[in-house]
Amino acid sequence: MAEPATKAASKAQPQPVTLMSVVAPALGWLIPGAGHLIQKRWGRGLLLMASIVAMFVLGILLEGKVYAFNTGDILDMLGFVGDLGAGGLYIVTRAMDWGRGAINLATADYGTKYIIVSGLLNIISAVDAYDIAIGKKP
């Protein structure tokens, strides 16, 4: 009877902070898939990188909008948070002044959503890299 309680208690204990548990998610955020690649999960890393980068680039090509920091409409603020999840892709896009958004194109709205979702997927990917780093996932 006491064993499940012991297991639960051991699961609740904080994981030790290792260098990899900090570097992997940070690098994974900055470069999509890199958090997996640095831990030698080559297949997963390359697939994540290809998927997230392709979605982001397609969003730009569809003339989607890239949100800048703002304190206006709540949806604009959430859009910025989602876009920021793309890490290095977002930084490069803002630096190059891409992603102004074409309001005259119906499909440009798809581009905006592609960009936001690629950022959100990159955050999931970075969290997954952290789980691998702490040994929670093989």
Partner 1 sequence: MTLQLSHFSAAVIFAFFASIVFGITQRSTRREMVRYGAYCFVLFVVGTIAAGWLMWLLRH
Nearer to partner 1 by C-beta: 44 or 94? 44
What is the rounded distance in angstroms from the CA atom of residue 74 to the CA atom of residue 126?
25
Q: Are residues 62 and 71 in contact, defined by beta-carbon separation less than 8 angstroms?
A: no
Identify which range of 6-14, 52-60, 65-73, 87-95 contacts partner 1 by CB under 8 A: 52-60
Q: C-alpha 115: how far from its chain's center?
A: 11
Is residue 66 within the footprint of partner 1 (CB under 8 A)?
no
CB of 43 to partner 1, least distance (A): 8
How many residues touch partner 1 under the rule CB under 8 A: the total is 26
Is residue 128 within the footprint of partner 1 (CB under 8 A)?
yes
Name which of 134, 26, 29, 113 is nearest 63 in CA terms.
113
Is residue 101 within the footprint of partner 1 (CB under 8 A)?
no
List the alpha helices (DSSP H) in the chain: 2-12, 19-30, 34-37, 42-61, 74-84, 88-95, 108-133
Q: Give the residue, chosen from 38, 85, 125, 133, that forms a contact with partner 1 under the rule CB under 8 A.
A: 125
Q: Give the residue, chosen from 70, 92, 127, 135, that forms a contact with partner 1 under the rule CB under 8 A.
A: 127
Is residue 97 within the footprint of partner 1 (CB under 8 A)?
no
